[in-house]
Amino acid sequence: MVIHVVRSGETLWQIANRYNVSMNGIIEGNGLQNPNQLVVGQSLVVPVPGTWHVIKSGETLWSISQQYGVTINSIIQANQISNANLLYPGTRLLIPSRIHVIQPGETLWQVANRYGVTVQAIISENQIQNPNLIYPGLQLRIPVQKQTVEVNAYSYQADASGAQTIHELGDFLTYASPFAYLINESGDLQPVRDDLMIQAAIAENVVPMMSITNFTSTAAGSNVAHTILASPEIREKVITNVLRIMEEKGYKGVNIDFENVLPADRVNYNQFLQLTVDRLHPRGYFVSTAVAPKQSATQAGLLYEAHDYEAHGRIADFVVLMTYEWGYRLGPPQAISPVNQMRRVVEYALSVMPAEKIFLGFQIYARDWLLPHVQGQEAETFSTQEAVARAVKYGAAIQYDTLTQSPFFRYVDEQGRGHEVWFEDARSAQAKFDLAKEFNLRGISYWALGYPYPSNWTLLQDNFNIRKLSQ
Residue 83 three-state SS? coil
> Whole-angstrom Cα distance, residue 193 to residue 246?
14
Residue 152 three-state SS? strand
> Whole-angstrom Cα distance, residue 34 to residue 12?
10
Write down the catalytic residue from 204, 236, 247, 259: 259
Q: What angle do CA 375, 379, 380 make, to 5 degrees?
A: 165
User: How many H helices and E strands in the chain?
Assistant: 16, 21
Question: SS3 sequence, 273-308?
Answer: HHHHHHHHHHHCCEEEEEECCCCCCCCCCCCCCCCC
> Whole-angstrom Cα distance, residue 369 to residue 375?
11
* Residues facing residue 446 across a β-bridge: 153, 362
Residue 259 among the catalytic residues: yes
The two beta strands, 175-178 and 207-213, are: parallel
Question: SS3 sequence, 31-57?
Answer: CCCCCCCCCCCCEEEECCCCEEEECCC
DSSP 416-442: S-EEEEE---HHHHHHHHHHHHHTT-S
In single-letter form, the type of residue at position 172 comes to F
Of 348, 353, 375, nearest to 442 by C-alpha is 353
Helices 12-19 and 23-30, axial angle in degrees (round to 10): 110
> Whole-angstrom Cα distance, residue 29 to residue 218?
37
Q: Are the CB atoms for 459 and 429 separated by under 8 Å? A: yes
Q: Are the CB atoms for 360 and 443 separated by under 8 Å? A: yes
Q: How many residues are given for the chain? A: 471
**Catalytically annotated residues:** 259
